Each structure stands twice: as C-alpha cells, then as structure tokens.
Amino acid sequence: MKKIAILGASKPHLQLYTKAREMGVETYCFAWKEGAYCKDFADHYYDISITDKEAIARVCRDEHIDGILSNALEIAVPTMAYVSEKLGLNGISYETACTARNKYKMREKVNLAKASLQPAYRLYKEGESPDRFPVIVKPTDGSCSNGVTKVEDGPSFVTAIERALSASSNNEILIEECIEGREISVESLSFHGRHYVLMITDKETTGAPYFVETAHHQPTDLPGNIQRRVRESVVKILDAIGIENGASHTEFKIDRKGNVYFIEIGARGGGDFISYDLVLLSTGYDYVKGMIEVALNEFTEPNIESGSYSGVYFLGEDVGYVKDFIEKNSREPWVYRYEIEEAPLKKLKKSQDRTGYIIYQSDHRILIPEKKGIDN
C-alpha cells in the first residue's frame, strides 16, 4: 500500500483524506491538534506544525512515505517541497517553493524570462512614498488578501504600509502599479515539467481598497483569443518559476484593451472551493485525485469535459444580499452546498471575514438577480 503525508487538517481539506482512502492510499496527517478536524479521517496523526519541515521530514523518512501533499494552504508549500527534496519524492524544489511564496521573487523570475506582462513593481524602502497614485500595497508573503490595499494618496499610504506589515512575517512589502480590469484565476496541474491548464475562473471582488473575493464562476466568459493568451502565459510562468510538479493557482488581471497582466501564483490549488469543488463540478475532472497521483509519481493525463457551469457566492456585510439569495434558493436543484454561520455579517477586509457561501452547478451561470430592493 502506498503512503502519503498530508499537511493540514482543517475541515476544507477533508477531500484529500477521503480521496486518498478511496484510492487505497495510507494517510499520515500532520497538523496542530487544535482545529484538526481531519485527524480522525487519517490512518495516522502527528501533532506537528505544518511549518516544522525538519520534524515532518524525519517522520516521513522513518515511515517510508511515498509522497507528500497539501492543497490551498500557502504556508504548507515550503514544507512540502523541503520534504520532497530531502526524501527524493515527486514535487518541486525548496528554492522554487520559496520563490512561489514571495511575490517579489516570483515577479523577478517572470520578468527575467519575459513570461508575461506585469504591473510595474518595487520593494518598499522605509520612509519612501510613491511618485504617483493609485498603487497596490501588499506583503510579499501574504495570502487570502491579507494586508492588501489600494492606495489613492500619501496619507493612506502610511496606513497601508502598517497594515501590510501586520500581515507579513518577513517585513517585506511590495508596491505595485494598480491595473484596472477584471480578475481571473487559472487552475493547472503539472507533472515532470508538462503543464495541464484545467480551468479559468472569473472572479468578483469587493473592489478597492481590499479586493476580497466575493464570488467565483467557471468557466470564464472571456473571448477565446484572450483565453488562449492566458493559457500560454500560465505555461511560460510555470516554466519561469520552476513549478514542474503539482497543482498551481495563477491570478491575472485583464485591462480594457485585452492586455493580460500576471498578478501572482501559488504552488497549490486555489482556495475558496475552487480546487476542491468547482473544477470537478465544471469539468468532471477529479483535481484532488490528480494531485495525489502527482505526489505519488503515478499520473494519468486529465480528461477535461465541458458543458457544466459552477460557482460560489460568499456572504459578508459588503454583499449582504447573498444571505437573502441563499435562503430563497436553498432547495433549488442547482444548489450543490451552502452554509450560513450564526454570526453578524462582517465588513470584508480579508477572506476570513466571510460568514457563509453557496456553491452551484448548472447548465448556465447562476446570477444573483438585480440587487435593487434586496434587503441588506
């Protein structure tokens, strides 16, 4: 029986454990005990932080692990790569993982390879102020929109820097040109340097200043010529950064002229149910199974079907009408799953502020009706 180590044990990661069991793979779970929902679904559990790469490597070596995996969990990427490299497992190098975790380093790699258009960018130096506004301020090691702010003027810049620093562990801040346009993300799977673009996702956000994502829809409705350029850019970016194995989540902005700007990449599948649910619902391809196959070095090329639409709407104070939408439509046949937390709606400043969601699958994109008159 093959053995796989899985980093992370919160409820969203349950599919990693259930899919591995379905595939006849023995699972080794690594996570702090508090909040480790999935530990009871694993064959073996270790109360070890997912950032303690040396301790996890020792256990994996002693247990003769065949592969290591995580998903939609940015802080797990370096540990996953470190263990893979030390034990000769199928994955990415530790250097590549560190590049993919640092927004400045990834921009430098993409720039050197001329892999894609990018916003103008630079690292923040203490005491400086941009020559022109607006700009985007973000920590180089952030995720889930934490610490990201669109800044319109000098006084707001100081506050944005403080906010970004509070969300950073390396105290490194990136200042970027603000590209106006629609946001998309791309899910891919790579095996031995060959890349498979699975799906392009259209995004809705709160907009400035925090750009918290409020909805995702698959497939994209971008024109075919732009989709082709996006797919070509993804492959070039993956090659430039060195992501040869595993899932990846790449974000772009498309301006009014149709220019495709690279925003950032994660060496893991997308969060917000994108990689765990939406890809399977819209394509029929089991993305999670594919991730496990790559980690075990036993990969079957994806068979992508088309014809279904899927998506998710999130609940928060900024989009309070979503609660009414969920309550009115919860029994509709296109509803895949929904949840409303028993908590007050929060202003969306980061992804963790959301208090509910509804996931759909249909033969068309499900749109929330005209928002006028809806009680927020």
CATH code of residue 154: 3.30.1490.20
Confidence of residue 374 (pLDDT cuts 50, 70, 90): very low
Same domain, 170 and 191: no
Q: What is the pLDDT of residue 103?
A: 96
Same domain, 161 and 266: no
Same domain, 212 and 293: yes
Domain boundary among 132, 150, 177: 177
Same domain, 353 and 211: yes
* Chain Cα centroid distance, residue 271: 4
Cβ 234 vs Cβ 228: under 8 Å: no
How far apart CA 4 and CA 1 sit, in angstroms, is: 10
How far apart CA 349 and CA 371 sit, in angstroms, is: 22
Triad 178, 181, 184: Cα angle to 5°: 105
Cβ 297 vs Cβ 275: under 8 Å: no
Q: Is residue 369 part of a domain?
A: no
Three-state SS at 158: helix
Same domain, 221 and 355: yes
Dump pLDDT digits (tens) for 186-236.
Answer: 999 999 999 999 999 999 999 888 889 999 999 999 999 999 999 999 999
Query: Count of domains in the chain?
Result: 3
Q: Is residue 219 part of a domain?
A: yes
The residue-averaged pLDDT of 286-294 equals 98
Three-state SS at 289: helix
The H-or-E segment that residue 264 falls in is strand 260-266
Question: Is pLDDT above 60 for 318?
Answer: yes
Same domain, 159 and 271: no
On the question of a cis peptide bond just before residue 130, with omega within 30 degrees of 0, the verdict is no
Choice between 278 and 143, residue whose per-residue pLDDT is larger: 278
DSSP H helical ranges for 251-317:
279-283, 287-295
Same domain, 165 and 207: no
Q: What is the mean pLDDT of the chain?
A: 94
Domain membership of residue 31 as a residue range: 3-88
Question: How big is the chain by its Cα radius of gyration, in Å?
Answer: 20
Q: Is residue 187 part of a domain?
A: yes
Same domain, 188 and 311: yes
Q: What is the pLDDT of residue 126?
A: 87
Question: Is pLDDT above 50 for 31?
Answer: yes
Q: What is the pLDDT of residue 376?
A: 33
Same domain, 173 and 200: no
- Percent of the chain clearing pLDDT 90 (strictly above): 86
Same domain, 342 and 241: yes
Q: Is residue 125 part of a domain?
A: yes
Dump pLDDT digits (tens) for 131-184.
Answer: 889 999 999 987 767 889 999 988 899 899 999 998 888 889 999 999 999 999
Dump pLDDT digits (tens) for 330-372.
Answer: 999 999 999 999 989 999 988 899 999 999 999 999 999 855 4
CATH code of residue 68: 3.40.50.20
Dump pLDDT digits (tens) for 294-308.
Answer: 999 999 999 887 779
The residue-averaged pLDDT of 58-62 equals 98
Same domain, 143 and 268: no
What does each C-alpha distance from 103 to 21, 46, 111, 172, 253 come to in angstroms?
A: 35, 31, 12, 10, 16
Q: What is the pLDDT of residue 370?
A: 58
Same domain, 266 and 321: yes
Task: Look up residue 192 and give its amino acid.
Answer: H
Q: What is the pLDDT of residue 66?
A: 98
* pTM to 2 decimal places: 0.94
